[in-house]
Structure 1
Amino acid sequence: MHLQKLGIRNFRRLRDVVIDLAPDISIFVGANNSGKTSAGHALQLFTGKGRFTLHDFSAELWPQFVAFGEGVAGATLPTMSIDIWLHIDGTDIHRVIDLLPSLAWQGALVGMRIAYVPIDPEATKARYTEMRRRALAAVAREDGQAAAFDPAPRNMHDFLREDLNKEYELRYYVLDPARFAADMTADADYVPVALMPSESRSGREILNSLIRVDFLHAQRHLSDSPGGARAEDLSRVLSRFYERNLEQKEDDLDVLRALANSEAMLNDHLERVFEPTLRSLATLGYPGLSNPRLMIRSALDPAAIMSDRGARVHYALGDAEEQGIDPPTLPDHYNGLGFKNLIFMVVELLDLHAQWLAITDGRPLLHLVFIEEPEAHLHAQLQQAFIRKVLDILQLQGEDQRHCSSQVVVTTHSSHILYERGFRPIRYFRRSQTGNRSEILSLSSFYDRTPEGERNFLERYLKLTHCDLFFADAAVLVEGNVERLLLPQMIEIAAPKLRSTYLSILEVGGAFGHRFKPLIEFLGLTALIVTDLDSVVGPPVPDVVAGDPIEAALPVVADEVDNEARPPEENDADDEDEDEEGAGRRAGKACLPELAGAVTSNQMLIQWLPRRRTIADLFAVTPEEKIQPRGGEGTALVRVAYQYRTAVTWREETLQLAGRTLEEAFALENLPWCQANEQRDLGLRIPGAAGKDLSTLVERVHKRVKGSSFKKTDFALGLLGHQPDAWRVPTYIAEGLVWLEGEITPQEQPEEPGGLHVEEAR
């Protein structure tokens, strides 16, 4: 059995969502405040662990509380609910007999709705009205004038802030999967049947007999010093684990005798428990330690053998074979916090797992463990080691494997964890553009519906470079290494508010960038594409067909191959290799954008935005045509930025010109500055520039940039060495960054007096 789907309504940001869960492990990812933690908290609260607060209701519903208290016609008290859909094996049907909607039920899916609803809305209103009356009477002035202040509760929202759990309760319902569509949307007239508690089992007891939910929270307080009350050292954590589980084995005389009389047996036992994890950490280095191994040094007093003072964790120094059975050791606080945090999580998981397995009478069929941000205090290698081993830690054995199952949900901001697991387990939490709500997307569906070639390319590329795409507020797709190096500086100059956002910068190139279109659109990201005009001599290049080799569809442009072996020299040797008449007019040859009949070789511009081929058409594109608006399922908001004509001035001459690449565009818009001797390290200075007219100088810059001796990376690094206020960001990039800034950074708005204060829900 496993939890297959989770439907959540009106809980914080999760206004109305359905989450598909994998049978083994699901990974919740998304930007901050997208609702990942809320999903776990919802399951925790609806299964009876913890108390609801008024802030657990979606913020959009808060005015409804006020309206109901004021007696507005048609107003009702809001409710919250969660639908739990379980996939049941044939051997377990007898355990879910209470959840079968009818004798005609077929299939493997059973569902239960748990709703948090008002016990008696009219009685609640009456109690609020009376409390409000008494509060006003207490502050009323004797002279009949208005009260000095408006006392609490000022409205129903205020009243329920303190008394919510007295006025609301959990109710349980049986769901009929036949009345739900594939996306788990119920029929319009469907009303679930209330689960009436029997003499033997209530709705809560039925739920608890099927599923046990445990949480390993991110707030772990390991400490190397005595610290405050919340600090713990690793030895105490391990002692607590054994104390809990030994209490359940107090009748096992063999175990007690071994613990009391054999320190060696205890050491062997602990080493065996952690051996799989420690083996994966064997290659990690720690200052002053080699191949760290856990050892237990216990007192011989049986009464205190596993107390926090009777047993301590030590780290053995050196190799076991070299040091023998009694090597030199150091106490646990001499090792790194990351390693201790890993062991802490493993011990906690083993503890939760052991407590579930220790239930002998009516053990729940499913153990669901939520692990919140396991990357806390773990460096990259340890994060990968943990996520690789977590399912092994919870592996069932023997008869338990036939009748029970474990399931894991991990919430994370770690790209290293995604690297280990790939697309299929990812559940992407996307913040809605309107209101405090989120949507949840299953990357397994993207995986299944995307052609294998495109899917493999995206998965391998992201695993190698940019798994952080799933945590970003927006994505910026750039042409190459130069743009990637310069973009942070350009952001600081042109759109400084973007520095407070989480941008994922993908270096994709014009040839491959369009292959990111399916993923960007599926995720619904806001994205800026910064690419090059890449003008070449016509005729137009053919389209790239999905799955075909990119190189076969593109013209060969020999001039654009960077040769890093030769240093740039300030002469025209590399600029004059195409002076013969017609030599530079071959089809597919790089050319100035102003050449009549020029086309683009950039597949991003041809196949994604703005879907134009000729340079003339690209110049004619309006600002609106450079934007792909939102609209339709999973559609992203995307804008493209590429070079277009701007005013270029040299001496007394001004022309409307465009650069073919970033380097050319930068040189044209900073022409006098680039030609100064102080900027010769950029490689854009042309000898004798002062004696050349504007057209000739532009042509020389074009040949210099596409020449084999021009080093683009050196240009970028050289530019970073100059003061940023000395040069201007190319207009096409500045406009794109300003657009992105306006889309993803919060707008400053004056605070409105009065009303409800709406906090951003988690």
Structure 2
Amino acid sequence: MKIAKIQLKNFRLLKDLELDLEEMLSIIIGKNNCGKTSLLSVLNKFIGDKSSSNSFAYDDFNIEFKSKLYCSIKDNKIVWEKQDGISLIIFIEYNEKDKLSNISDLMLDLNPDNRIVVLKFEYSLDIDNFNKMKEKFEEYKNKHSALSTNELECFENFAKSQHKKFFKIRRKAVQYDTDIQDVNLDEFIDLDKKKVDISKIINFKYVGARRSITNIENDGTLSDLSSKYYEKTEINDSQSKAIDNFENALIETDSKLSAVYDDLFEDVVEKVKKFGGMKKDETVIKVISSLQRRELLKGNTTVVYDDNSHYLPESYNGLGYLNLISMIFEIETLLSEFRKDNNKEAKPADVNLLFIEEPEAHTHPQMQYIFIKNIRDILEEGSNGSNNNKSFELQTIITTHSSHIVSECEFDNIKYFRKDSSNYVEAKNLKQLEIEYSKEKDGGKAHFKFLKQYLTLNRSEIFFADKAILIEGDTERLLVPAMMKKIDDEDKETDVLPLLSQNISVIEVGNYSQIFDKFIEFIGIKALIITDIDSGKMVQDKDIKGIVKKKSDGTDKMKEEASPVDESTCTSNGALKHYYKKEIEKYLTIHGTNEMDFFINLDINDKVLIKENDEWQSSSKGYFMLVYQVTEVNEDGDNYNARSFEDAFFHINRKLIIENKDKFKSLKNINYFDKKESSSGKYKYDSYELAEQCIQSKPSFAMDVLLNSVCDDKPNYSNWKIPKYIKDGLIWLKKN
């Protein structure tokens, strides 16, 4: 038995959320303030440890719902019966192997093919209580309106203090209609009237992000957790011997008790070793006795670090280790609670859901890798019946901001939370991406496979970005951050956040940015693509003897050859051809066969793109901008359209290199830069030729640019210019 899906309405930013859960582990990711903590909160209020009482606050309702409520109370414009409150719908799937005794009375459909039971929890206002609320507000308004600036504020104050008198928590089993593949809300069983024990069906527990972790001296966070772990496992058969020894040794010395604790906490200490990534015998935790009075464990156990022959207090270790170790203690304790270890006769619930919030707190990347690599084993071992424990069905949700954790996850387990245009949250399964890529006619499956490997291995931080810059190679990777700072320094607009203060991810994609278009669209962020125009022309294809190759029809075989932009007729850049496919076809229909003319004449505003009807087209409302080399005038008054970043940079920064010839170690033929024709006095080699003949290593060239930048206390890069196409793109990204 498992939870297949959760639907949530009207809770904070989660106005209408649908979340699919994986059979074992679901990883929820997303930027800050996109509803991950809200999901934990609403689950806890409906089915967790806060469900025994009404813990909802008025501000838990989303803004739109509160507005409708106020309008309805004020002037009856909205029919209240049709309005929903906060609701949580849980879809539970079962199979022929599951025991159905706890849910049999909740089955509203005798169809044997229907193997879904639906539980609905709502915090809602029925029509009778709505009318009472309306009356009470009139009374409240007459008494307290003078304290508020307007009627809306008066209503907000009233609702915050008195909503619990009118809104009620209701629990239902709702019919699932297999014909429409959705719930039929009109057919339900009232679980409260039927006195159904929901805890037998579903058990929810969580490890919150706000863990009580500190390394202040005399604080005993881990020591307190060791006491809790004992309390939950003391009747566990596998530890009964250790418990007996403990009780017998209570009257003896601390040293004897500490020896018993070695057995008592062996399982969890071994797990800590596995997670901590510590060197053998260097830093190992122990639980030792520190008896002050004759009580069982509470206040009398201390977690220390076993450092060779010395026991060091837990506060001597960093917050990262404390956080990781405390999580393991807490998870082990919760697994014991799921199993109901303290009651041999009690059975675990049919469905058990564990929520771990932001496990990365205070931990460095290596610890985060270790956590996500090992957590599956810990959860499986705790639920599969090993060590003579009870087995039970366990599903786990982990929320995270950590790109390091994401990089170690199964791609299919990831759920992406993002805000839509209305500022409400939607949940997207990364599995859906595979479906989108499979629709591609050419290489869709291969593209998805590449994307999946690339993102998990290299650039998973893009999931947490607000904007992205997709670049071609090492040169741009090294220089783009400097260019962003340079633009921030030069652009004095105070109402626009500096580029380096924005949440921008820079990703190196070669000239394959077209593979990422569905992904960028999927996660819904703005993106700037910086690419090369890669100009070329068609020439005869010759063999090694210089003889022109022939086609089967006897005509000359042609091939594309790189050439300066002003001599070119086409581009070899796949990204340009992909994003401008429709526009190119339209242009060539009217203007002939010169593809390069289209790119040369394209206005900067037409480089902003949006996808409509599955085709990219220019639009001022677009969220993509694709920039490439354009015609630019240098300080000598010469116009030039570069083919690559290197010749674009040489064209406007030639004097920088001439003045620092001895410092640009990455360049060969360095004298080509200032060599001039004796007759005309013009440079003998143009920027295209310099890029072709002088670059030894592109990354080294980028480093030389940075090393030769003007510095005061910090580099200000004022002695070189940014190529126009990159500057245009970065300014667009900054201001949009």
Correspondence for 1:313 among 297, 303, 307: 303
Tell me the equivalent position of 1:425: 413
CA shift for structure 1 position 172? 2.7
Query: Quick check: 1:491–1:737 contact (8 Å CA) kept in 2?
Result: yes
Tell me the equivalent position of 1:163: 162
Query: Quick check: 1:643–1:658 contact (8 Å CA) kept in 2?
Result: yes
Pair 679,69 (structure 1): closer, same or farther in 2 beyond 3 Å: farther
Give, in whole Å, the separation in 1 of the partners of 2:540 and 2:185: 60
Q: Which amino acid aligns with 2:498?
A: K
CA shift for structure 1 position 131? 0.7
Give yes or no for the alignment of 1:84 onto 2:83: no
Pair 713,151 (structure 1): closer, same or farther in 2 beyond 3 Å: closer
Partner of 1:192: helix, strand, or coil?
strand
CA shift for structure 1 position 248? 8.5
Correspondence for 2:115 among 103, 108, 111: 108
Correspondence for 1:356 among 326, 333, 338: 338
Q: Which amino acid aligns with 1:604?
A: A
Query: Quick check: 1:221–1:232 contact (8 Å CA) kept in 2?
Result: no
Pair 647,295 (structure 1): closer, same or farther in 2 beyond 3 Å: same
Please give the per-residue CA displacement for 1:637-669, whole angstroms capped at 9, x wherever unaligned.
32211112233452xx443x2111112212223
* Aligned residue pair count: 661
Pair 268,606 (structure 1): closer, same or farther in 2 beyond 3 Å: same
Tell me the equivalent position of 2:69: 65
Please give the per-residue CA displacement for 1:549-607, whole angstroms capped at 9, x wherever unaligned.
xxxxxx9xxxxxxxxxxxxxxxxxxxxxxxxxxxxxx944432111143x222221122
CA shift for structure 1 position 403? 6.8
Query: Quick check: 2:675–2:684 contact (8 Å CA) kept in 1?
Result: no
Give, in whole Å, the separation in 1 of the partners of 2:369 and 2:45: 30
Give, in whole Å, the separation in 1 of the partners of 2:361 and 2:158: 38
Partner of 1:725: helix, strand, or coil?
coil
Partner of 2:16: helix, strand, or coil?
strand
Give, in whole Å, the separation in 2 of the partners of 1:241 and 1:415: 31
Give, in whole Å, the separation in 2 of the partners of 1:260 and 1:9: 55
What TM-score do you get using the length of structure 1 for normalisation? 0.79
Q: How does 1:558-597 map to 2 (within 5 A)?
A: 587-597=559-569
Query: Quick check: 1:477–1:529 contact (8 Å CA) kept in 2?
Result: yes
CA shift for structure 1 position 457? 1.6
CA shift for structure 1 position 116? 1.4
**675-684 or 363-372, larger mean C-alpha shift:** 675-684
Give, in whole Å, the separation in 1 of the partners of 2:540 and 2:638: 30
Query: Quick check: 2:173–2:191 contact (8 Å CA) kept in 1?
Result: no
Unpaired segments ≥5 residues, structure 1: 140-147, 319-326, 542-554, 556-585, 744-762
Pair 534,150 (structure 1): closer, same or farther in 2 beyond 3 Å: closer
Tell me the equivalent position of 1:620: 601
Partner of 1:176: helix, strand, or coil?
strand
Give, in whole Å, the separation in 1 of the partners of 2:504 and 2:394: 36
CA shift for structure 1 position 714? 2.8
Give, in whole Å, the separation in 1 of the partners of 2:138 and 2:680: 81
Tell me the equivalent position of 2:265: 270
CA shift for structure 1 position 374? 0.3
Query: Quick check: 2:526–2:623 contact (8 Å CA) kept in 1?
Result: yes
Query: Quick check: 2:171–2:191 contact (8 Å CA) kept in 1?
Result: no
Tell me the equivalent position of 2:475: 482
Tell me the equivalent position of 2:142: 133
Q: How does 1:459-498 map to 2 (within 5 A)?
A: 459-494=452-487, 497-498=498-499
Tell me the equivalent position of 2:440: none
**46-55 or 675-684, larger mean C-alpha shift:** 675-684
Partner of 2:383: helix, strand, or coil?
coil
Query: Quick check: 2:629–2:641 contact (8 Å CA) kept in 1?
Result: yes
Q: Which amino acid aligns with 1:296?
A: V
Query: Quick check: 1:13–1:436 contact (8 Å CA) kept in 2?
Result: yes
Q: How does 1:184-195 map to 2 (within 5 A)?
A: 190-195=184-189
Unpaired segments ≥5 residues, structure 2: 250-255, 438-443, 489-496, 543-557, 585-593, 617-621, 711-716
Give, in whole Å, the separation in 1 of the partners of 2:63 and 2:318: 42
Query: Quick check: 2:242–2:264 contact (8 Å CA) kept in 1?
Result: no
Partner of 2:101: helix, strand, or coil?
helix
Give, in whole Å, the separation in 1 of the partners of 2:673 and 2:331: 70
Partner of 1:156: helix, strand, or coil?
helix
CA shift for structure 1 position 691? 5.6
CA shift for structure 1 position 363? 3.7
Pair 54,539 (structure 1): closer, same or farther in 2 beyond 3 Å: farther
Give yes or no for the alignment of 1:212 onto 2:206: no
Query: Quick check: 1:260–1:305 contact (8 Å CA) kept in 2?
Result: no
Give, in whole Å, the separation in 2 of the partners of 1:634 and 1:24: 38
Correspondence for 2:373 among 370, 373, 388: 388
Give, in whole Å, the separation in 2 of the partners of 1:526 and 1:649: 34
Q: Which amino acid aligns with 1:84?
A: I
Please give the per-residue CA displacement for 1:173-200, whole angstroms capped at 9, x wherever unaligned.
3333326756x5x6xxx54334224665
Give, in whole Å, the separation in 1 of the partners of 2:675 and 2:38: 63
Pair 111,200 (structure 1): closer, same or farther in 2 beyond 3 Å: closer
CA shift for structure 1 position 41? 1.7
CA shift for structure 1 position 301? 8.3
Identity %: 25
Give, in whole Å, the separation in 2 of the partners of 1:703 and 1:678: 17
Query: Quick check: 1:419–1:463 contact (8 Å CA) kept in 2?
Result: yes
Give yes or no for the alignment of 1:42 onto 2:55: no
**156-165 or 632-641, larger mean C-alpha shift:** 632-641
CA shift for structure 1 position 241? 2.5
Larger relative CO (CA 8 A, sep 6+): 1 or 2? 1
Q: How does 1:429-444 map to 2 (within 5 A)?
A: 429-432=417-420, 434-444=421-431
Give yes or no for the alignment of 1:537 onto 2:537: yes
CA shift for structure 1 position 708? 5.9
CA shift for structure 1 position 305? 5.0
Pair 192,386 (structure 1): closer, same or farther in 2 beyond 3 Å: farther
Query: Quick check: 1:65–1:157 contact (8 Å CA) kept in 2?
Result: no
Q: Which amino acid aligns with 2:71?
A: A
Please tell me the root mean square deviation across aligned C-alpha atoms, in Å: 3.5
Give, in whole Å, the separation in 1 of the partners of 2:706 and 2:408: 35
Pair 694,383 (structure 1): closer, same or farther in 2 beyond 3 Å: farther
Give, in whole Å, the separation in 1 of the partners of 2:22 and 2:172: 24
Query: Quick check: 2:647–2:688 contact (8 Å CA) kept in 1?
Result: yes
CA shift for structure 1 position 244? 4.5
Q: Which amino acid aligns with 2:134?
A: K
What TM-score do you get using the length of structure 2 for normalisation? 0.81
Q: Which amino acid aligns with 1:100?
A: M
Tell me the equivalent position of 1:201: 195
Give, in whole Å, the separation in 2 of the partners of 1:163 and 1:629: 47
Partner of 1:740: helix, strand, or coil?
helix
Give yes or no for the alignment of 1:606 onto 2:577: yes
Correspondence for 2:687 among 690, 697, 701: 701
CA shift for structure 1 position 361? 4.1
Tell me the equivalent position of 2:719: 726
Tell me the equivalent position of 1:575: none
Tell me the equivalent position of 1:413: 401
Query: Quick check: 2:654–2:673 contact (8 Å CA) kept in 1?
Result: no
Tell me the equivalent position of 2:632: 646
Give yes or no for the alignment of 1:97 onto 2:104: yes
Query: Quick check: 1:533–1:643 contact (8 Å CA) kept in 2?
Result: yes
Correspondence for 2:329 among 322, 347, 359: 347
Tell me the equivalent position of 2:522: 522
Tell me the equivalent position of 1:371: 356
Tell me the equivalent position of 2:549: none
Q: Which amino acid aligns with 2:326?
A: F
CA shift for structure 1 position 725? 2.7
CA shift for structure 1 position 503? 1.4
Query: Quick check: 1:216–1:372 contact (8 Å CA) kept in 2?
Result: yes
Pair 70,104 (structure 1): closer, same or farther in 2 beyond 3 Å: same
CA shift for structure 1 position 699? 4.8
Query: Quick check: 2:339–2:347 contact (8 Å CA) kept in 1?
Result: no
Query: Quick check: 2:203–2:349 contact (8 Å CA) kept in 1?
Result: yes
Query: Quick check: 1:540–1:600 contact (8 Å CA) kept in 2?
Result: no
Pair 153,625 (structure 1): closer, same or farther in 2 beyond 3 Å: closer
Please give the per-residue CA displacement for 1:491-531, whole angstroms capped at 9, x wherever unaligned.
22335622222212111111x33222332233233211111
